[in-house]
Structure 1
Amino acid sequence: MGQRRADTIAEELEERIFDGTFSDGDRLDEVRLAQQFGVSRTPLREAFQRLALSGLVELIPRRGAFVRQPGPVELMEMFEVMAELEAVCGRLAGKRISDRALAELNDANAKCHAALEAQNSDAYYVENERFHHILYRESGNSFLQQEACKLHKRLKPFRRQQLRFRGRLAQSMAEHEAVVEALTNGDGEAAAAVLREHVAVQGEKFHTLMASLRSAAE
């Protein structure tokens, strides 16, 4: 229960950072937020730790937690690395993925499709996250899996935000289906190419993300 509570608080704080309730540099008041959420400081501090992993919060000893929005260059660099890590996972999974894991990917996609029909981006993200973690595992390389999971966690609030852009859910769904098709055919190179494009934030996708962060800051 405590773990889920900390996750829920972290997501609520993410929303407040993105919608402009908290601005870059704001100090998060532990006492006030604990009262607002009706919790002790322990789950709140755990939520701060999760936000620190994604770079949205900076924890300064003896001073507290401060909102920190990564700049456009830093964000683009992280997405660039994430796209390449996912591409490698896809390429290796093309040779190593099990039939059971393919069934898991298809199940995640079916649930993603239901969320798309309902236009529920948050429900979509839950299954989207599951989809990607299956791919990391099926790379068959535990070090790669660990690094991909770490960066995935750091970029989570930004990837969730992206799914709210008009038309992005349908586009993401089509890319997921293309990944599964490539892996079913044992074509790791095709899976890698789709995943790289799926994750990369460049061109219009980057400008849209930056515009949403700017509007939140304002």
Structure 2
Amino acid sequence: MATSRANEILPVLEQDIVTGTLKPGTRLDETILAEKFGVSRTPIREALNRLSASGLVEIRPRRGAIVAAISVQDLMNMFEVMAELEALCARLAARRITPPEKAELRAAHDHCHALSGTEEFDEYYERNLHLHTLLYKASHNIFLEKQACELRRRLSPHRRLQVRIPGRILASSNEHGALVEAVISGDAALAEKLTRDHVTIQGERFTDFLSTLPPHYLRASA
């Protein structure tokens, strides 16, 4: 039950942090949050621990949890590494993916693409998450999969915001289609390139990404 309630509380706190409603340095008092959400402190503590794992919250001795400071440069550095990790996953997947994994990957893309003309942002994000997870697994490198999942957790709130950029769901789905076909056909070099391009934020996508961030991210970069 506590985990279930934590799962409900987590996206609310994530949204408040990444949009600037809860600013860096804000103390996140467990008792106050428990009263706000109408729960015990146990699911609040679990949600805060998970936010700490994603880098959005710092838990300090005797001070408790506070909203962490993060800058655009921090985010770009993480996205740069994420692009390389996922590109490596895709390259290895193109060489090692099994027939059942190919079918599962294609089905995951079909489920994503079914939402490409909608504004079902949260549902698309979850399906997108599943597709990328399948790519990690298809690399058949457990260490790489673990590292990719860990960094993805840290970037998850910001990747969730990305899909809300107008036209991004359709563009993302089209990019998925090309990279899935490259993996399934065994074209490792193309799969690597397409995946890197899919995750990397540059050019117009960088400007669009900045538009999703609250002002304190930009101030932290100064």
Deviation at 1:216? 7.4
Q: How does 1:1-218 map to 2 (within 5 A)?
A: 1-215=1-215
Contact 1:79 1:200 in 2 (8 A): yes
Deviation at 1:215? 4.6
Deviation at 1:204? 2.5
Q: Distance in 1 between matches of 2:141 and 2:156?
A: 22
Deviation at 1:198? 0.6
How many residues are aligned here? 218
Contact 1:6 1:44 in 2 (8 A): yes
More displaced, 206-215 or 46-55?
206-215
- RMSD in angstroms over aligned alpha carbons? 1.7
Q: Deviations over 1:1-23 (max 9, x none)?
A: 43232122111101112333211
Could you state the TM-score of these two structures normalised by the residue count of structure 1? 0.94
More displaced, 141-150 or 12-21?
12-21
Q: Distance in 1 between matches of 2:114 and 2:37?
A: 31
Contact 1:91 1:188 in 2 (8 A): yes
More displaced, 20-29 or 77-86?
20-29
Q: Distance in 2 between matches of 1:19 and 1:148?
A: 25
Q: Kindly tell me: are residues 46 and 83 of structure 1, through their superposed partners in 2, closer, same or farther at Cα, counting changes over 3 Å?
A: same
Partner SS, residue 65 of structure 1? strand
Q: Distance in 2 between matches of 1:38 and 1:174?
A: 42
Partner SS, residue 166 of structure 2? coil
Amino acid at match of 1:25: G
Deviation at 1:115? 2.6
Amino acid at match of 2:110: A
Amino acid at match of 1:57: V
Contact 1:9 1:44 in 2 (8 A): yes
Q: Distance in 2 between matches of 1:4 and 1:155?
A: 22
Partner SS, residue 116 of structure 1? coil
Contact 1:91 1:189 in 2 (8 A): yes
Contact 2:27 2:64 in 1 (8 A): yes
> Could you list the runs of 5+ residues in structure 1 that have no partner in the other structure?
none
Deviation at 1:66? 1.0
Q: Distance in 1 between matches of 2:49 and 2:154?
A: 11
Q: Deviations over 1:163-212 (max 9, x none)?
A: 11111111110111011110121111111111101111222222332332
More displaced, 155-164 or 15-24?
15-24
Contact 1:90 1:188 in 2 (8 A): yes
Amino acid at match of 1:159: R
Could you state the TM-score of these two structures normalised by the residue count of structure 2? 0.92
> Could you list the runs of 5+ residues in structure 2 that have no partner in the other structure?
none
Partner SS, residue 58 of structure 1? strand
